[in-house]
Amino acid sequence: MKGLLLRLSALDPDAATAVRVIAHYEALLAGGAVDPPALVRSTAGLAECPAGLESADGRTVRFGPDGITLPGGPARVSGSADLGAAGRVWLERPGGPGPLDELVLEWMALAARMADGAPVRTTAPHVADPALVELVLSVREAVADRARALRLLGLAPELPLRVVALAGGGGADAGVQAVALIGRGTGWGTVRLAALGQLGVALIQRRGGGASPAGELRAVVGERAREQSGTGGPASGVRVGVGGAVDPLDAEASWGQARLALRFAVAGDPVEAVVDHDALGPVALLGAIPAGALSAQPDLRALHGLAGRDGGPLVLAALAAFCRTGSLRQAATELHLHHSSVAARLAHVEDALGWRLRDPQDRFRAQLALYAMRLADPL
């Protein structure tokens, strides 16, 4: 840690300070919950300004940066964090909040909740300020501004970053969907969540190479779908696109990949609902074709006609499963159907479109038409 701080100090003093803030509280919490006076005194010394804590019963603890107790309530609050029923914490910095006060207050609040005895998951996903997330994802903003936003979000500048885009189903709020989905996973690493427009966004950093979270996402999508089976719950409409691992300052590239992958995703089967851009390979190049040109393609028009008939969506689901697995029995297993039912649906496709799906060329043609159908539809 000391070596990292020295290198960061030479490159960016604010980045070094952010690491010191995190290291300070991790060391403070290493032995478990810390009592409120010790927490406030420690924070005041770290922030170099008065700090305070008000507990649920109205009792107030305040310390100055010199470690001396301050009487009464705060004279001027420059920034605060609500602890809900447990009270609140704050800083009293003259002249307005400092550049890393949000990070200090976030960690102070976490420690205060532990001191209050409230259950805290230190590895839980964190709902972030959408403005900061949008700043990280914007290529139009200056590098210095994006770097500062990353620091304020508590993201490490030296670790690869992946962006995940999520579309909620059934009119559900995408940001809430993102929290619900990723909150069920384990071992995500550092996560920051926000809602941008109609999409939920997750910024994910994982040590050890930044492995894709697509597998874990499919598991939690499947879990929710099983829980809500037959209830019409929103899990049936969830779609997820996973971007590639990039340098944090190039997050916009991963964001673009995540949105493209989302266009390939189809709600329902977790395998189809979560698409990893890295796994698409050259298929991702289809995303460069204008939606109008895709819609005009004869195979795509034929698929749309098939989808509009009675039972059409079920027929297309069977076609997608067969194209993906190349096996009638594996497709039946994925769809929880008898293989004869899947065979009947595939025969319907062959009769309607003139394809022979056992022929690799026709099966490849069908898969491309399915991809085109997804890409031609709006998000």
Give tens-digit pLDDT for 249-305.
999 999 999 999 999 998 877 888 899 999 999 989 988 888 888 888 888 888 888
Confidence tier at 120 by pLDDT (50, 70, 90): very low
> To which residue do tokens 């909150």 refer?
183
Mean model confidence pLDDT for the chain = 81
Buried b or exposed e, range 147-160, using 16+ CB within 10 angstroms: bbbbbbbbbbbebb
Question: Looking at per-residue confidence, does 345 or 28 come out higher?
Answer: 345
Q: Is it the case that residue 119 has pLDDT exceeding 50?
A: no
Q: Are 333 and 261 in contact (CB under 8 A)?
A: no
Q: Report whether pLDDT(170) > 70.
A: no
For residue 223, give every residue at least 6 positions away whose Cβ sits within 8 Å of its Cβ, in sequence order, or none.
184
Q: What is the DSSP letter of 80?
A: E
Query: Between these two residues, 14 and 344, which has the higher pLDDT value?
Result: 344
Q: Give the whole-number percent of the chain exceeding pLDDT 90.
A: 23
Inform me whether the pLDDT recorded for 30 exceeds 80.
Answer: no
Alpha helices in the chain (DSSP H): 2-11, 13-29, 36-47, 101-116, 130-137, 143-152, 174-182, 214-227, 251-264, 270-273, 277-280, 291-295, 298-307, 312-325, 328-335, 339-353, 360-376
Is the pLDDT at 192 greater than 70, yes or no? yes
Return the closest-CA partner of residue 40 out of 111, 116, 114, 118.
Answer: 111
What backbone phi and psi angles, to 5 degrees, belong to 190?
Answer: -90, 125
Residue 310: Cβ within 10 Å count: 7
143-169 per-position pLDDT tens digit: 988 998 898 888 888 889 999 999 876
> Rounded to an integer, what distance in angstroms lies between the CA atom of residue 17 and that of residue 199?
33
> Residue 1 has what pLDDT?
36
Cα 267 from Cα 289, distance rounded (Å): 22
d(CA 244, CA 168): 21
Other CB atoms within 10 Å distance of the CB of residue 196: 16
CB 220 within 8 A of CB 164: no
Q: Say what the pLDDT of residue 62 is.
A: 94
Per-residue confidence (pLDDT) for residue 7, from 0 to 100: 39
> For 194-244, how does the pLDDT look when each residue is reduced to its tens digit (9 = 90+)?
888 888 899 999 876 678 999 888 888 887 767 655 544 444 578 899 999
Identify the pLDDT of residue 123. Answer: 40
Q: What is the largest CA-CA distance in the chain?
A: 84
- Kindly state the tokens that stand for 95: 């002249």
Architecture of domain 291-376: Orthogonal Bundle (1.10)
The confidence score (pLDDT) of residue 91 equals: 94
**What one-letter code names the amino acid at 240?**
V
Report yes or no: 240 and 274 within 8 Å, Cβ to Cβ. yes
The residue assigned the tokens 């930044």 is 210
Domains of the chain, residue spans: 2-116, 126-285, 291-376
Between the CA of residue 367 and those of 5, 299, 330, what are the distances in Å? 51, 11, 16
Residue partners of 310: CB distance under 8 A and separation at least 6: none
Taking residue 306's Cβ as centre, other Cβ atoms within 10 Å add up to 18
pLDDT for position 193: 84
**Average pLDDT, integer, range 62-88:** 86
Tokens of 299: 């195979």
pLDDT of residue 189: 80
Confidence bin at 176 (pLDDT 50/70/90): low
What top-level class would CATH report for the domain 126-285?
alpha beta
For 156, residues 6+ apart whose C-beta sits below 8 A from its C-beta are: 190, 205, 248
Q: Is 291-376 the same fold as 126-285? A: no
Single-letter amino acid code for the residue at 48: E
- What's the pLDDT score for residue 337? 86
Find tokens 């709902």 and name the residue: 127
